[in-house]
Structure 1
Amino acid sequence: MRLLLAEDDEALGRATCTFMMKDGHAVDWVTNGNQLLELSARFEYDCVLLDLGLPELTGRDCLVNLRSRANLTPVVVTTAQGFREQRIQLLDLGADDYLIKPYDLAELSARVKAVVRRSQRVERDDDEGVAHGPLKLQPASNSVLWHGATVVLTAREYRVLDTLVRRRGSTVTRQQLEAAVYGWNESIGSNAIEVHIHSLRRKLSPELIVTLRGIGYQLGKL
């Protein structure tokens, strides 16, 4: 998954970013509300981790702004205040979950996966499933079912495939895949996407992904 972390505490932000990346996610880390709104408008994220005590724009203001723009990305709020009334208000404003600081990083990761699973179930209900022919995605385990057999992918291979499946019928450029797979501050090898595509074809099927030279990639007809 690609996550947007908004946390102005440097030590906590670095620890959260490091843990989430080790857990297989791409993470963009910002330290104020204006940066959060800027990146959320430029890129697509699977989940936002939102500290309420951000400078410039508070986390509450950011949440209101996101939902007013019809941005339905799941949001997990983190806060040092655990008052019942505040928690109810955050959920009413559109937050999907919350954690009280100091939080356990493993629990945060589990909650992120849970809210993303819930949002993807809604998408599957509306879109007849995150699938393409004999291919079915299983986001909880970074794996897929191929003709009913489980195939385990790396986190980045899974994000490449997930992006192509969700945009099936359209051509996806290398730049769009890089944006879906890597954080904006990560270094990317010149042939990184090609390596992931090659591995997916080897693990699944040579016909699964079609290269349109000079344009990008799309799913083949299976």
Structure 2
Amino acid sequence: MRKILVVEDEEAIREVVGLNLRMAGYEVYEAASAEEALTVFKECKPFDVAVLDIMLPGMNGFSLCENIRRDSATVGIIMLSAKSQETDKIRGLSIGADDYMTKPFSISEFLARVDALVRRVTHNAPEEQAEDDGRMVSGVFVLDQKSRVLYKNGQPIDLTQVEFQIMELFFANPGVALVREKILEGVWGENYFGDVKIVDVNIRRLRMKIEDEPSAPKHIMTVWGYGYRWNS
């Protein structure tokens, strides 16, 4: 059974979300604060997905996200917030969240996003990779599909599952301009409900990790008004 961590200080919301996730077949763990969530996460891991409210007492959801992401590159993270400001969305995605929803939200849409994220995370888990999976090579980069690690000049670079999948898409299409919608569909799935800007945020994060000078990228090139192109 897939495990979900729900962190929400409003008891009514936490109970509704938890109940619906359990009815959908998930094993659900709940926490009312970030501090409690970190304890639960460490004691009961691994989790497939963590659902984090931003406005929490004490440590906020952004800091919690950073803590969880440092501990695990594979867990899927969905941020929840009553705010609709673009800056909150960008910040959440920039620090490692995979998706973002603004309250109030439809339970059916929420479950659809959780299902999609769980499928993506579990499909790409290292232990579920076929034994004959090899390595994808592009210039000084090697994408190891068994260990789910990217190497640059032999040095490992830690990537989230989403970042790794974007790199797989790039390596499979070298020199090809990929429109943002194609990247969104290829990584998040054709039924994803979110904003295409999530692609831009993850590209920015990838450049910080793999480019010598992120502000002057040589590998992940912007195709203005269209999308991105990978150069080895």
Provide the TM-score with structure 1 as the length reference. 0.55
Shift of 1:126: 7.3
Match of 2:101 in 1: 99
Q: Answer yes or no: is 1:5 the counterpart of 2:6.
A: yes
- Separation (CA, whole Å) in 2 of partners of 1:108 and 1:86: 18
Residue 41 of structure 1 corresponds to: 42
Q: Counterpart in 2 of 1:20?
A: 21
Structure 2: 5+ residue stretches without partners: 132-232
8 A Cα contact 2:74 2:125, kept in partner: no
Q: Secondary structure at the match of 1:76?
A: strand
* Displacement of 1:71: 4.6
Structure 2: distance between partners of 1:48 and 1:125? 20
For 1:74 and 1:80, how far apart are their aligned partners in 2?
20
**Preserved contact between residue 48 and residue 122 of structure 2 (Cα < 8 Å):** no
CA RMSD of aligned residues (A): 1.8
Runs (4 or more) in structure 1 with deviation over 3 Å come to none
Change (3 A) 1:120 1:83: same
Deviation string 1:33-61 (CA, Å, 9 cap, x unpaired) is 00111111111211101000111210001
> Per-residue deviation at 1:124?
6.0
For residues 17-166 of structure 1, the aligned pairs below 5 Å read 17-43=18-44, 44-123=46-125, 127-128=129-130
Paired residue secondary structure (2:41)? helix
- More displaced, 117-126 or 43-52? 117-126
Residues 86, 127 of structure 1: alpha-carbon distance in 2 compared, 3 angstrom cutoff: same
Q: In structure 2, how many angstroms separate the alpha carbons of the residues matched to 1:70 and 1:27?
A: 18
Q: Could you tell me how far apart the structure 2 residues matched to 1:4 and 1:20 are?
A: 10
Deviation of the 1:68 alpha carbon:
2.1
Pairs aligned (count): 129
| Distance in 1, Cα, partners of 2:126 & 2:36 | 31
SS across alignment from 1:113? helix
Q: Which has the higher contact order (CA 8 A, sep 6+)?
A: 1
